[in-house]
Amino acid sequence: MRYPKLFAPGRIGNLELPNRIIKAPTSTGMSNIDGSVSERLIRHYREVAKGGTGLIIAEYAYVDDIASKSAHCQLGISSDEHISGLTLLAETIKEQGARAGIQIEHCGRQKFLGTPPIKAASAVPWLALKARSGDKAIPEQLSIDEIAQIVEAFGDAARRAVAAGFDLVEIHGAHGYLITNFLSPHTNKRTDRYGGSFENRTRLLVEIIESARSKIGHAFPLTLRLSGTDYEPDGFGIDETIEVARIAESLGIDAIHVSGGDHHQMIHQVSPMSVPRLHNVWAAEAVRKAVGIPVIASGSITLPDFAEEILADGKGDFISLGRPLWADPQWSNKAREGRQEDIRPCIRCNDGCLDRTFFRFRAVGCSVNPEIGREGDLQVTPARQAKKVAVVGGGVAGMEAARVAALRGHRVTLFEKRSLGGVLQEGSVAEFKSDLRFLNDYLATQMDKLGVDVVRRRAEAADIVGRFDAAVIAIGGQASAPPIPGIDGPRVMDAIDVFNGGATPGRRVLVLGGGETAVEVALYLQQAGREVTILHRRDELMARDCTITDKISYGEMLARAGIEIITGLQATEISGGRVTAADRNGRTRQFEADSVVTALGYGPNRDGLAAALREGGGMAVYEVGDCVRTAKVYDAMHAGYRAGCRL
């Protein structure tokens, strides 16, 4: 076996686990509005539990009906009336061979819903929520009586989990939720017995553990999730986390699940691809050296090679996976079977699972897995009649359409004049975008394994008409070229050409644009030793369609790099190495540079092929991806998937 450590049996308390892989408790937004278990949630967890993961910790469940609920359609465990549905959830997970756990939580100041009441240790708001909801996002400081009620609510929630048949309960003491609000000096400004000293700040957690143990006994597996640090300058560091872990062990906690960050420092909690992989494993290693109970490591452990290395190096006893099991619920089975190349990789884009979920009040989605959240509704099924299908374009949308079509039994030919990957090739050149390489490798591998015939040239209508029954056009987008005098000059080059090596900028570079591509090419060139300035006509960089974690991460990277950013100026003329720009009032400024790199947006590529095929008649023609509307990996992957299902 390639991963002997990963697939060795393990134990948490008296709970035997078949392997060392644990599904992290990630919220789906698929429960009913009252927190009860929905049929959709059952279908989802049935598929996840089929994947071979040893322990499934179902998503965080709120413990009371006062102020603990964080998100829309969140799972609840606040009432005995929840037990019936939770029993079905636990049974469904266990019927597939996995162990079933559940996490219990109080959101504290981090209430995505933004609705009152919001209760926390002190009146310190989550700044992103305050920017959206105003003063109503400022939490009310909990009274002593309210704290006592919450302690009881946690104990009652643990009791309900046992009654529902779960094998394990986890207390959520991480990620900036209520327990962390008390642990961290950043959010705890109290002067009573719950604030100030380390002993006082840990008092709530101690009382919650004691309450849970009093109601479920000392034999039932009880774990605690902690942030190694909240990454706040005035916050909670690893030394205090280690002491908390030791206290928890003494109180009967059976394992420590180590993560990091809070919602203000979200890039450390849900790290984007610009943050190194295995981001919080260092903290798990530090805690493991200090306690005698198992430690669960987490944080961007996207592939089994990474997981095996962590276990082999003694940095953790178990591996926790959140987003990777949304990207591919069969992650564990494929790793055990030695099919790691078939694992659909999480690219840590945080688009479907975070931005389109929590910030848009939708159920969970995934950029690379269109089926997640649509289990039993959206799935690949055999075609009623096998067809000869032409796919034109080997980017994300084209390869996904080809993959699904081939799985359904169609004979697929894919035309691509370049190497497979489309703009994934340019998009993954920078090291801070390297997760995209895993997706490209996965899709290209599937083309080979599924017998897709890849033709390495441009497709013409004559290559397709009369030879195929259907065609999918996925030829991508093209750079926008606004009518700026001099934009076609010899010192001007497009960002895509910079990434693919088709253009080499000089020492001083002026980047025109302020979207993600502009920021990424600026950072890439600065890391390559160039002096870079960004010139953007809007007042804010990355203002449109950029995930919250990319905004945070890229903002920090730009600040560290010392890249000059000039906003509110529109380039009006390029002459040699001189760019003239004007503000809204017509006042002009001039900038000197050796090279000008444009990243001014991209539009659909309408080369006429789809129209020509339709005119030829006799075949269904589908256009997908950037050739229809330039968007993100999420949109391209989902469009390709649906096209493959329609054929």
Residue 186's closest CA among 259, 265, 239, 128? 265
Which segments in the chain show pLDDT lower than 50?
A: none
- Summarize pLDDT for 84-143 with one digit per residue, the tens: 999 999 999 999 999 999 999 999 999 999 999 999 999 999 998 998 889 999 999 999
What pLDDT shows up at residue 212? 98
- Say if CB 477 and CB 603 are below 8 A apart: yes
d(CA 515, CA 536): 9
What pLDDT shows up at residue 27? 93
What pLDDT shows up at residue 359? 83
What pLDDT shows up at residue 207? 98
Q: What is the DSSP string of 270-318?
A: S--TTSPSSTTHHHHHHHHTT-SS-EEE-SS--SHHHHHHHHHTTS-SE
The answer for residues whose C-beta is within 8 angstroms of residue 9's C-beta and 6 or more apart is 16, 17, 18, 19
d(CA 593, CA 384): 60
Residue with tokens 């939490």: 139
Which residues are tagged catalytic?
177
What pLDDT shows up at residue 119? 98
d(CA 562, CA 271): 23
- Domain-by-domain residue ranges, the chain? 10-355, 388-478+604-646, 481-600
- Summarize pLDDT for 542-569 with one digit per residue, the tens: 977 789 999 999 999 999 999 999 999 9
Give pTM, 2 decimals.
0.95
Architecture of the domain delimited by 388-478+604-646: 3-Layer(aba) Sandwich (3.40)
What pLDDT shows up at residue 329? 97
d(CA 597, CA 579): 11
Chain centre to alpha carbon of residue 494: 29
What pLDDT shows up at residue 143? 98
**Where are the extended beta strands (E) located within 209-294?**
222-227, 255-259
b/e per residue 194-224 (b: at least 16 CB within 10 A): bbeeeebbbbbbbbbbebbbebbeeebbbbb
Architecture of the domain delimited by 10-355: Alpha-Beta Barrel (3.20)
What pLDDT shows up at residue 601? 86
CATH number for region 481-600 = 3.50.50.60
What pLDDT shows up at residue 445? 98
